[in-house]
Structure 1
Amino acid sequence: MSGHSKWHNIAAKKGKNDAARGKIFTKLGKEIAMAAKDGSNPDLNVKLANVIAKAKAANMPNDTINRAIKKGSGELENVNYEEITYEGYGASGVAFVVEALTDNKNRSAGNVRSHFTKCDGNLGATGCVSWMFQKKGEIVIEKNDLDEDEIMMLALDAGAEDFSSEGDVFEITTAVEDFGAVRTALEAEGLEFLSAEITMIPDNYTAVDMETAAKIQKLVDRLEDDDDVSNVYHNAEFPEGFEG
């Protein structure tokens, strides 16, 4: 998820209960299965390698990852999902991009539209807000006692576009095509990730007040609770002190 600071969202995810974590694993399993349709070897399938990295950062068990790969490659029961992207506006014109994996387009479209409507937003036409975002690789590492200059040089030398220090974490941004190389280089140094994924980063943020922030967070929560929705991105800049 993309807000003013990615860490706020990651911290919230880490605190979710087991039931919510199970739902996250189910969604990641669908993403892995879809990626595995193009080949079950992550060394030859970049998309699969990227999704596996995202799943491992979320502490998804290896056997669950492998089972999802087998589903996608046809070794287990067949899966037939379709990738759909929805775009729209939340309260105060905050831009949203919603990615879904579904076996029923009509159900998904109706549910997503309802989520927007019930949170003072509206679903828009394809392309209405996606131009405000860039697809990037993003890696988040907890600082602990790590040396900032050392991590920064490792990341930049491996091909990262940007490095920043945000609160308790380091955030590393890459071009999509360089994400795997940067991730592999950091993994080779024994670094563990709070998050490692291909994401959508807004070019600019929309500052919102506390009341609007609550409406935006409500919409995010509703979308993330939808079984068909895999990823939610927005460009809201939450006010200082907002806890969600």
Structure 2
Amino acid sequence: MSGHSKWANIKHRKGKQDALKGKLFTKLGRELIVAAKMGGANPEANFRLKIAIQKAKAANMPNDNINRAIQRGAGGQDSNNYEELVYEGYGPGGVAVMINVLTDNRNRTAGEIRHIFSKNGGNMGETGCVGWMFEKKGVLVLEPAKTNLSEDDLILLVVDKGAEDIKFEEEEVQIITAPEEFQAVKEALEKEGLSFTRAELAMIPQNTVEIKDLDQAKLLLRMMDYLEEHDDVQDVYANFDIPDDIMEQLQ
């Protein structure tokens, strides 16, 4: 399982999305503001905004909060000048890490991200040092128990709409698409009455690094926690894989 999927599942099991809901809503609101400011308030004409709205709704962000954020961005009511930046580096065990941020102070954010890397056995690198290891893809995740289609029917449905891959795991079904096919596949699944535990555009690693050392795994997950909790960080992607026996010792 890729680092992106592994980390998403770890967060889900730990309940971090609920524990950090206030902070999560702030980050989602910032993305809504920036998307609306850049492309307008109509999600049908602004794909980035459409994805941001879907992500906010999946996190149970109240509709009033969503609408206020869109209005602030589209109406020019937000005076913050956010920069979109990508930081890259290596975590414990040589794990590649990519971090998307929205910040109004790049010097402050860079220093804080560098500190998180260094105090957890990693190091922040130059732009492009690990980006070539990742590809932007659409990711749609279903729960097998809530999927009323057989595996064969599900495969036929998503492949017909342009999906690149489908993976059946014990806890989830993960469908991978090219970014431009993401919406068509998502809409086809929704027409079948299916809902998603995750539906997003993400950076997917082309290969993974297995972390077999318990201490390295602890450091790595602690670093991921700190990065996720940083106010300016929108998304964190990594290419690690932690074997199940090590994961059991971490829980």
**TM bracket (short chain):** over 0.9
What do residues 1-21 of structure 1 show as CA deviations (whole Å, max 9, x unaligned)?
9446355235236x2374501
Aligned residues: 243
User: Aligned pair 1:26/2:26, yes or no?
Assistant: yes
Task: Please list the CA deviations of residues 5-49 of structure 1 after superposition, one character each: whole Å capped at 9, or x if unmatched.
Answer: 355235236x23745012111111111111112111110111111
Deviates more, 1:189-198 or 1:55-64: 55-64
Conserved in 1, the CA contact under 8 Å of 2:138 and 2:178? Answer: yes
Equivalences for residues 45-194 of structure 1 within 5 A: 45-74=46-75, 76-146=77-147, 147=149, 148-194=151-197
Moved more, 136-145 or 100-109: 136-145
Measured against aligned partners, the alpha-carbon deviations of 1:90-147 in whole angstroms (never above 9, x if no partner) come to 0111100011001110110010000000001000000000000001110111111523
Assess if the C-alpha contact under 8 Å between 1:141 and 1:192 holds in 2. yes
Q: CA deviation at 1:70?
A: 1.1
**Partner amino acid for 1:218?**
R
Q: Is the 8 A contact 2:11 2:17 kept in 1?
A: no
Q: For 1:87 and 1:159, how far apart are their aligned partners in 2? A: 30
1:36 is matched with 36
Identical columns (%): 48
Change (3 A) 1:160 1:84: same
Which whole-Å CA distance do the structure 2 matches of 1:217 and 1:238 have between them?
Answer: 10
1:61 Cα shift?
2.1
TM-score computed with the length of structure 1 as normaliser: 0.92
1:5 aligns with 2:11: no
Separation of aligned partners in 2, 1:140 and 1:39:
28
**Residue ranges of structure 2 left out of the alignment (5+ in a row):** none
Tell me how far apart the structure 1 counterparts of residues 109 and 13 of structure 2 sit (CA, whole Å). 25
Q: CA deviation at 1:51?
A: 1.8
Query: Match of 1:218?
Result: 222
Task: Note closer, same or farther for the CA distance 1:64–1:23 as it changes in structure 2 (3 Å cut).
Answer: same
Residues in 1 aligned to 2:184 and 2:7: alpha-carbon distance in whole angstroms: 22
Deviation at 1:78, TM superposition (A): 3.5
Matched-pair contact (CA < 8 Å) for 1:4–1:205? no
1:115 aligned partner, one-letter code:
I
8 Å CA contact 2:3–2:241 kept in 1: the answer is no
- Backbone CA RMSD of aligned residues: 1.9
Within 2, Cα distance between the matches of 1:23 and 1:234? 21
TM superposition score normalised by structure 2: 0.90
